Amino acid sequence: MNNNAKITLVGAGPGDPELISLKGIKAIESADVILYDALVNEQLLDYAPATCIKIYVGKRAEQQSIAQEEINQLLVDYALTHGHVVRLKGGDPYVFGRGGEEVDYVRQFGIETFVVPGISSSIGLTGLQQIPLTYRGISESFWVITGATSDGKLSKDLFTAVHTEATVVVLMGYSKLREIVALYKAAGKSELPIALIQNGSLPNEKLVLGTIDTILDESTEKRIGVPAIIILGEVVAKHREFEKVKVAVESLV
């Protein structure tokens, strides 16, 4: 067993390599092994020592990837044989990143664990687009919900969230957009503003603004795909381009 065995979960942020923390960079600089996900910007690997072993483990929403159980075992094996393992994850490790599951598994082997928080796409991408998640007099809270459960069904929390005035951010849910739209229409919220952000914070970022009534057509026209987050709520109307979208829609009526 390597006497320096430890594992650090590092949040890499939403994509832009400049949105990682200084503490996260220092962890990468001291890594003996890095296990990194598909949504991690590979420019961050340049901070690693030349001797560092870098292992791609996939984990992209709505696509096949290495089984979580295999990743858990790789973390333990490499920590015991090589020393400091950095588990580099997109966004924040504890916001739908399965970081809690990985730490629970590693602790069984008596290996030291550390977590470096990252900027979750739920707050980072909305902030970059200047969509406030909370706004006095409009939204008192925000919910971050997974679009689909492990068995592929629409998250039950969305059935509750649709009846609140809170801003709702849906991660890993673009494939469920049609179902989400139907849910909000059934709740009488056809005019509710909604935004889609694909590849947020990256040069190929796409943004689509609309309402529940229009977003399916807009997303098809703009050819939006994964990875994308969904933002639902009156705060979306605060985006600087939303009034233009509204005027364009009204002119077609």
User: Which residues are part of the catalytic machinery?
Assistant: 37, 59, 172
Q: Edge-to-edge, what's the strand order for the sheet holding 206-211?
A: 142-146, 167-171, 228-232, 193-198, 206-211
Q: Show the tokens assigned to 68.
A: 């979580």
Instruction: Count how many residues are written for the chain.
Output: 253
Neighbouring C-alpha atoms within 13 Å toward the C-beta of 187: 18
| Cα diameter, the chain | 70
Six-digit token pair at 232?
């639902």
d(CA 237, CA 19): 26
Residue given tokens 């709505």 in the structure block: 62
Please count the other Cβ atoms lying within 10 Å of the Cβ belonging to residue 59.
21
**Distance, CA of 232 to CA of 167 (rounded, Å):** 6
Q: Mutual orientation of helices 99-107 and 68-82 as an angle, nearest 10°?
A: 50
